[in-house]
Structure 1
Amino acid sequence: MTQTVPQEILDALTDVDMPRLGAEPGPHDHVQLGRHRVPRHRAGAVVVGSGAAGLRAAVEMTRRGVDTAIVTQSAWGGTSACSGSDKQTLHTANTADRGDDFKAMARAIRAGGAMDEDTAYVEAVGSVRAMASLQYLGLPLPQDPLGGTLRYQTDHDDVGRATSCGPRTSRLMVKMLAEEAIRLGVPFLNQTTVVRILTEGTGDARRATGLLAIRPRDRTDENPYGLVLFDCATVVLAAGGPGELYRDSVFPNGCFGSLGLALEAGLTLVNITESQFGIGTRREGFPWNLSGTYVQVIPHIYSVDAEGREHHFLAEYYRTTQELASNVFRKGYQWPFHASRMLDFQSSLADLAIFREARKGRRVFMDFNRNPLPVTGDQPFSLDRLDADVARYLATAGADHALPIDRLRHMNPLAIELYRRYKVDIATEPLEFAVNHQHMNGGIAVDTWGRSSVSGIYAIGEAAGTHGITRPGGSALNAGQVFGTRVAEHVAATTAFAPTPVPVRATAEDAVRRIDALLRPEGLPLRDVRSEVQARMSDSAGILCRAEAVAEARALAAALNAAIRRQGLSLTRSGEVARALQWQQMALASEAVLTALDHYIGKGGGSRGARAICDDTGEALPDSSQGPLTDYRFRTEREEDKAEQILVRLDGTRIALSTRANRPFDETARPFFERDWPAWLTGAIYTAD
């Protein structure tokens, strides 16, 4: 029997209107930077980005008396406000269900490897506080009649720590935090693109002094680029991930992140070889991950060739209808592609099949009005013939309906409403989708307080490289909230002792000279740079990689950056200055990712969360109902690679690499109140290494 949820409730959880921003603050003064007369703003701390993580940092710093401003390319235009999946999640460790505790949760968060153990514990301990504060602000996380949080299992999570208030969970988070930031009077500077981080000093003494950005509304004859200067000693990078890095991407358009920006500023990056790929609708329409109930209702998946013929292609991979249907279901909580799940007819064999159909030039669809067609020679689909874990889940959910759309309407009507808002009615028409890049697990290297390798610069959210190889689904949202608060605590406790910032004008003038030198009429066209970067990353650094192809891609990426330095970039109109600088930085980020990936593969690294490293001598061979898939034989992951992380920084024009062991966490250590309280009272916890 289908549960009926009133339409007004569905509307409230689907149509999440964002608050209106107030009047923007004017500049403190103007400075002359070369031929540009530039407005200057001052703040104690500037948060770059207005997603859930950045808003949390801004709110918490303001509450602690830090003079804070938010600079954002597009308020409410990032991934946490605009993109996501069927069930976005926050993690809860607030009950002892199935023996859970913070240490167990930390082990689950870091289980994939290449993650600092202390960071995992920080995220576990902070999860309860993050969730409770969001509930205090009004986030409608679901509860049982006695006040316990409703929870479920998600990717890489065997206990079931996740919770959700529907597909708009992260957008609701942004809304609640934005309303609080506005209430606190945090100034927002919207339509403002940060293009350079300004620093002074060398080595360990290097520190932040400000930011250089571009605002179209500040463009004048005396300021042709629309430059704006921010004088600040603290910078919090919260601009999300590099969505534009890949052609095949589920990120909203215009998501550049800050990897190239950070490299140019001398920051160290970590784990940028590690991403998440999975099935979703592309950003050309409405970008959304097809995890959770979208696949747990087991729709029919098929492809269409150029002549319009349908192909029941999954039947060429799975041996029985039951095996096919059960693994489509498992994509709900095994959503990200994982190389090992291509083996033994598991769920990522479906990702490989979908990826191959796209390579053939076919379009792939899921149809919620049809159950999966049978595998040739086998019995038809039936809810009575499913693997035990699948049958148990659907029975517990009461999803015994004849068609996938009716099962979806029963289990998650919000999933249908969400696409309807974007003029796609999955109740009446098939949904086109593909395997896309969805999240970068790596990013800027930070410590347990969110500090980067340059003093005064912090990174949180997807900008920070804290996640390791794999992570439980939804833990990224939790990490952004936890570290947004941690950064605020650290800034408030330590900036009172920070030296007075040096005048920023000299470094700003140098940055402007470099921008002037980059923009040339005879330079490389932006559209060519974009096409080259995105095609190379999707074709050579997607879910399937080969050593020779990655090495060639790295060389070509380095050649592109050399050409940009030599020839510059050309614009078709004056309003493209910010985009030109972002694509210059994206080309740099692309070279960094490919250099790290080439290094990892070259030293014998195997297949893991993000990618399968295909190798004719590899130990693992995926099988299909038609026989072995010999073209996709791959290396298996080595245990020793899980224990270390690859670090990347820019040394002149060269990408420099190093490795370090994961930071440990001593689970046997016990705090002692009288002994440890003074460190809290004196602020020593913030200054200890």
Structure 2
Amino acid sequence: MTIDVPQEILDALTDVDMPRLPPEAGPSATARLAGVEVPIYRAGCVIVGSGAAGLRAAVELKRRGDDVVIVSQSAWGGTSACSGSDKQTLHTANTADQGDNYRAMARAIRSGGAMDEDTAYVEAVGSSRMMASLQFLGLPLPQDPLGGTLRYQTDHDEVGRATSCGPRTSRLMVKVLAEEALRLDVPFYNQTTAVKILTEGEGGDHRIAGILAMRAGDRTQENPLGIALFVSGVIVLAAGGPGELYRDSVYPNGCFGSLGLALEAGVELVNLTESQFGIGTRREGFPWNLSGTYVQAVPHIYSVDGEGVEHHFLAGYYRSTQELASNIFRKGYQWPFHATRMLDFGSSLVDLAISRETAAGRRVFMDFNRNPLPVPGDLPFSLERLGEDVRLYLGKAGADQQMPIDRLKHMNPLAIELYRRYKIDIAAEPLEFAVNNQHMNGGIMVDTWGRSNLAGCYAVGEAAGTHGVTRPGGAALNAGQVFGTRVAEHIGASGRAKRAASVSIPAAAEAGIADLLTALRAESALTVKAIRSAVQARMSEKAGIICDQESVAQALIEARKLNAEIRASGVAYGRAAEAVRGVQWRHMALASEAVLSALDFFIRNGGGSRGARAICDADGESLPLASSGPLEDYRFRRERETDRNEQIVVRLEADEIRLSTRPNRKLDENEKSFFERDWPAWLTGGIYDRDTKEQA
């Protein structure tokens, strides 16, 4: 049996049109600062980023009567609106029939280690409210006839807390939240790139004063770069992750995030060693994760060398056709690379094999019109000869069709339809792919209300470093929605954003603009192209899924040298649009040094392999095996249990990266709320000061 879904339904779930933005409000005034005629905009709160997390914060703030504006480099152009997978996952609490409860979900979210226990519980307990509110706004999450949400198992998920609207789940989230934000008259400033956070005060009085941006719409003869000043005592960083950090990346083009921007302002970052890598199509074509049913259909995977000769390379890694095919399938719910899954002929051996092929200059393809070829000397592929977990799943799904394309069409026709939208017909031709960087699990260090160490500065979504080493698939979408709401609640309770900031122009504004003008120099030998090439090659080749102490240390030396050159010589630009990219690549170079500093610190202090990376070491305890023999070059250190209990903190002091560690915040699972005792803290706003002193 094949599912027969009408074309108009497939169209609605793949071609998701975004709302049109209204005309922008003009500045309240202009001022001459550092020789530039600068427009002044004022707001109670400025949200940087227009993805799902930023929109959630904006909607919740506006509902509470706060004065909020959104600034966006490219509305509907980030990862929330443009990225996904076969049936992109939203991770929320399940029902008791799966043995679920919020504490169990919190334990699962933080199970990889290096994650605050209270944060994991916040994400778990907030997930039900988050999902219900998205459904209220119109998100079409699937239900059974009695109203239960349909669920499935995803990576790092043993209970089955995943649900999905299809490949465009996060884009549909952006759509319903954007429509609500526009209905509430939240002002948008599009083509507006935040380039410098302004602060005032020292020590404990250090706080947000505003933010400088560069806007195409504000370019004039007196302001050729379009520099604009947003005066506000509250900002929410929601600009996503540093997608441009890696050459081999599944992020959409132009995703810079805000890590360098935050570091420059004295904001502390955490867990920068932790990312996700996995198989996907590269952004040079149509960037997309190849998890879920793409691999659960069990296609044939092969490589092609420079002479056009095909290589059945996985046959050199697995001992039997059954083992090979079963591990292709398991990439569906074990999608991210994980070092330990290279052992015992596990599913991450697939990632290692693909990575080695591409490093050798071969192109790797997935063919849905062929079943996996047999391992030489073994029986051919058969649906009857697969791992027990694989046979049970395909049996329940009714995926007994002869060819992978028919199994995929039966299980998830949207997966095929989506690529067709981008003129790639995987039903007719093989699909080229690689192992790519996909998500930053670290980011800005925040508390349980989304506050950073800088007063008035919050972070949500991928910008926030709330994830630990691993996380269940879809937990990031959940975290962005939960913390978008938490941030709005905290800002609303403080009363600091009820009206647009009326303070005078911050003293830091003129110095900030002067700094930008100094950093951008027409005569500099350092071009955006040169910086991009150096950063991306270094990160992909030295800080990808395979690392070693010597290579990371050398990469860090090179990253420090590049940043010293940028500080000394600035970044070259021609047109004004190149100036924006110049600032962004200055930030990206700084973020690269921060990531490499944390990774070098971790490895030098004996850190082992976990999550995103295998830390290779000739004396390592773990040795991956292939059918062709031991893979000695990939012998790696085991993870130390003690490292799960702490996080690496990164900060910038006088142009130098400083590193320290802190223990994970704990959650007392025996502590239980009591209505009469705890209600007054809610009524008086006492809950907002529970963990940290209120920042004025």
Name the TM-score class by shorter chain. Answer: over 0.9
* Residue of structure 2 equivalent to 1:16: 16
* Residue of structure 1 equivalent to 2:360: 360
Contact 2:274/2:440, CA 8 A, preserved across alignment: yes
Matches within 5 A, 1:343-382: 343-382=343-382
Q: In terms of mean alpha carbon deviation, does 114-123 or 201-210 score higher?
A: 201-210
* Residue of structure 1 equivalent to 2:66: 66
Deviation string, structure 1 residues 235-283 (Cα, Å, up to 9, x no partner): 0000000000000000000000000000001000000110000000000
* Residue of structure 2 equivalent to 1:601: 603
Q: Specify the SS of the correspondent of 2:209.
A: strand
Paired letter, 1:516: L
* Residue of structure 1 equivalent to 2:572: 570
Matches within 5 A, 1:388-467: 388-467=388-467
Aligned-pair distance for 1:496? 4.4
Q: Please give the TM-score of this superposition, normalised by the length of structure 1.
A: 0.99
* Residue of structure 2 equivalent to 1:139: 139
Aligned-pair distance for 1:567? 1.0
Contact 2:339/2:614, CA 8 A, preserved across alignment: yes
* Residue of structure 2 equivalent to 1:472: 472
Query: Partners of 1:503 and 1:296 in 2: how far apart?
Result: 59
Query: Partners of 1:239 and 1:497 in 2: how far apart?
Result: 20
Contact 1:270/1:648, CA 8 A, preserved across alignment: yes
Contact 1:209/1:502, CA 8 A, preserved across alignment: no
RMSD between superposed Cα atoms in Å: 1.1
Contact 2:492/2:498, CA 8 A, preserved across alignment: no
Aligned-pair distance for 1:521? 2.6
Paired letter, 1:438: Q
Of 672, 675, 680, the residue aligned with 1:670 is 672
Aligned-pair distance for 1:520? 1.7
Deviation string, structure 1 residues 51-100 (Cα, Å, up to 9, x no partner): 00000000000000010000000000000100111122222324102211
* Residue of structure 2 equivalent to 1:587: 589
Q: Specify the SS of the correspondent of 2:523.
A: strand
* Residue of structure 1 equivalent to 2:308: 308
Contact 2:66/2:498, CA 8 A, preserved across alignment: no
Contact 2:209/2:506, CA 8 A, preserved across alignment: no
Deviation string, structure 1 residues 4-54 (Cα, Å, up to 9, x no partner): 011110000010000001111111111111111011111100110000000
Match status 1:332 vs 2:332: yes
Match status 1:509 vs 2:523: no
* Residue of structure 2 equivalent to 1:178: 178
Contact 2:65/2:498, CA 8 A, preserved across alignment: no
Query: Partners of 2:185 and 2:457 in 1: how far apart?
Result: 23
Matches within 5 A, 1:238-249: 238-249=238-249
Q: Specify the SS of the correspondent of 1:167.
A: coil
Deviation string, structure 1 residues 416-445 (Cα, Å, up to 9, x no partner): 000000000000000000000000000000
Query: Partners of 1:70 and 1:32 in 2: how far apart?
Result: 24
Paired letter, 2:613: R
Q: Specify the SS of the correspondent of 2:298.
A: coil
Contact 1:209/1:501, CA 8 A, preserved across alignment: no
Deviation string, structure 1 residues 610-635 (Cα, Å, up to 9, x no partner): 10000011000000000000110000
Contact 1:328/1:350, CA 8 A, preserved across alignment: yes
Query: Partners of 2:94 and 2:356 in 1: how far apart?
Result: 43
Aligned-pair distance for 1:575? 2.2
Paired letter, 1:161: R
Q: Specify the SS of the correspondent of 1:241.
A: coil
Q: Specify the SS of the correspondent of 2:308.
A: coil
Q: Specify the SS of the correspondent of 1:410.
A: helix
Of 625, 630, 633, the residue aligned with 1:631 is 633
Contact 1:234/1:456, CA 8 A, preserved across alignment: yes
Matches within 5 A, 1:266-277: 266-277=266-277
Paired letter, 2:515: R
Deviation string, structure 1 residues 141-193 (Cα, Å, up to 9, x no partner): 00110001100100100000010010000000000000000000000000000
Contact 2:45/2:497, CA 8 A, preserved across alignment: no
Deviation string, structure 1 residues 275-319 (Cα, Å, up to 9, x no partner): 000000000000000000000000000000000000000000000
Paired letter, 1:638: R
Matches within 5 A, 1:150-169: 150-169=150-169
Contact 2:210/2:506, CA 8 A, preserved across alignment: no
Of 642, 647, 650, the residue aligned with 1:645 is 647
Paired letter, 1:662: N
Query: Partners of 2:381 and 2:483 in 1: how far apart?
Result: 46
Q: Specify the SS of the correspondent of 1:566.
A: helix
Query: Partners of 2:71 and 2:496 in 1: how far apart?
Result: 23
Contact 1:233/1:501, CA 8 A, preserved across alignment: no
* Residue of structure 2 equivalent to 1:101: 101
Deviation string, structure 1 residues 438-477 (Cα, Å, up to 9, x no partner): 0000000000000001010000000000000000000000
Of 556, 559, 572, the residue aligned with 1:557 is 559
Paired letter, 2:166: G
Match status 1:620 vs 2:612: no
Contact 1:47/1:237, CA 8 A, preserved across alignment: yes
Match status 1:114 vs 2:117: no
Paired letter, 2:511: D
* Residue of structure 2 equivalent to 1:520: 521
Aligned-pair distance for 1:505? 3.5
Aligned-pair distance for 1:501? 6.9
Query: Partners of 1:85 and 1:668 in 2: how far apart?
Result: 38
Change (3 A) 1:238 1:663: same
Deviation string, structure 1 residues 321-358 (Cα, Å, up to 9, x no partner): 00000000000000000000000000000000000000
Change (3 A) 1:618 1:205: same
Q: Specify the SS of the correspondent of 2:521.
A: strand
Query: Partners of 1:96 and 1:461 in 2: how far apart?
Result: 28
* Residue of structure 1 equivalent to 2:342: 342
Query: Partners of 2:221 and 2:289 in 1: how far apart?
Result: 45
Paired letter, 2:488: A
List gaps (5 residues or longer) in structure 2.
none
* Shift >2 Å, 4+ stretches: 495-505, 572-575
Contact 1:44/1:67, CA 8 A, preserved across alignment: yes
Aligned-pair distance for 1:591? 0.3
Change (3 A) 1:30 1:624: same
Q: Specify the SS of the correspondent of 2:561.
A: helix
Match status 1:532 vs 2:534: yes
Query: Partners of 1:11 and 1:143 in 2: how far apart?
Result: 20
Contact 1:33/1:505, CA 8 A, preserved across alignment: no
Q: In terms of mean alpha carbon deviation, does 364-373 or 26-35 score higher?
A: 26-35
Q: Specify the SS of the correspondent of 2:438.
A: strand
Q: Specify the SS of the correspondent of 1:514.
A: helix
Q: Specify the SS of the correspondent of 1:569.
A: coil
Deviation string, structure 1 residues 205-237 (Cα, Å, up to 9, x no partner): 111111100011211110011011101111000
Paired letter, 1:334: Q
* Residue of structure 1 equivalent to 2:318: 318
Query: Partners of 1:261 and 1:330 in 2: how far apart?
Result: 38
List gaps (5 residues or longer) in structure 1.
none
Q: Specify the SS of the correspondent of 1:416.
A: helix
Q: Specify the SS of the correspondent of 2:507.
A: helix
Contact 2:68/2:497, CA 8 A, preserved across alignment: no
Q: In terms of mean alpha carbon deviation, does 200-209 or 585-594 score higher?
A: 200-209
Percent of paired sites with the same residue = 72
Query: Partners of 2:487 and 2:545 in 1: how far apart?
Result: 34
Aligned-pair distance for 1:577? 1.1
Paired letter, 2:308: G
Q: Specify the SS of the correspondent of 1:391.
A: helix
Q: Specify the SS of the correspondent of 1:429.
A: coil
Query: Partners of 1:152 and 1:67 in 2: how far apart?
Result: 40
* Residue of structure 2 equivalent to 1:679: 681
Paired letter, 1:521: A
Contact 1:405/1:427, CA 8 A, preserved across alignment: yes
Q: Specify the SS of the correspondent of 1:493.
A: helix
Contact 1:199/1:210, CA 8 A, preserved across alignment: yes
Query: Partners of 2:46 and 2:213 in 1: how far apart?
Result: 12
Query: Partners of 1:636 and 1:493 in 2: how far apart?
Result: 45
Aligned-pair distance for 1:497? 9.6
Contact 2:368/2:404, CA 8 A, preserved across alignment: yes
